[in-house]
Amino acid sequence: MFTGLVEDVGKVIRFTGSKKVKTITIECKKVIEGVQLGDSIAVDGVCLTVTEFDRHSFSAHVMEATMESTALGFLKNGSLVNLERAMPADGRFGGHLVSGHVDGIGRVIATEPRDGSVLIRLEIPKEASQSLIVKGSIAINGISLTIFELSETTVTVSIIPHTMDHTSLKNVSTGDYVNLECDIIGKYVYKFVHGKSDSRGQFSLTEEALRKYGF
C-alpha cells in the first residue's frame, strides 16, 4: 500500500528483455536507501517488485499486460518517473490509500497557470469517472491529488508549486499520457451502490437488496 506522496524522482536508464517480460532499470537516490530484494516500489503509480539493485539504481520486471494497460509503455530512456516505497505499518499516513494498481490511462489535454498553481486537465476513460467526486482524491502518476473539476470524460486537478517542483509533473505537457488510480474507497462505494456482481454472477449487495432484507 502507498500514500501518493512522492519520495523521489528517478530516471529510466535502461529497458531490457523481451516483449513478454521487460526489465526496467531506474536511477534514483532516496528510495534506494535500505531497499531489499522483493520490496515494492511504486513507479509512476504502478507497483513493481525490486529484482536487482545497487547504490544508485534498482531494476524491476514489467509484464506485457502492464506495459499495455499503463502509461509505463510510453516511457523511454531518460524519462523521469515518480517513486514511492510501500508504506511501513508504523509509517505516517499523509496522502490517501493508493494500491499501485492502475485503473486507466489519462491524456493531458490542457495546462493553465492560475493563482500561483497550475491546473491540469486530463481526458480519462468514462468508467474511471464513475467512482470519482469533486474534492475527492485521485492518484495521477502516483501522486495523491484533489479533484478540482470533473465531467464524464475529463478531470482537472490543481497542482501547487511544491508538487510541481518535487515530482515529474514539472515536465508534463499537452498530449502526455499518465497513469490513473481512482480512490479505492470511492470504488468500493460505487460497487456497493450499483451492485456489481462477482465473477461467478452470484448475488451482490445492493441498496435495493438491503432494503428488501430490512436494513
Q: Is the pLDDT of residue 201 over 70?
A: no
pLDDT digits (tens, 9 = 90+) for 61-94: 999 999 999 999 999 999 999 999 998 766 666 6
pTM: 0.86
Domains in the chain, please, with CATH?
8-85 (2.40.30.20), 104-193 (2.40.30.20)
CA gap 26, 21 in Å, rounded = 16
Q: Average pLDDT, stretch 50-67?
A: 97
Model confidence band, residue 191 (pLDDT cutoffs 50, 70, 90): confident
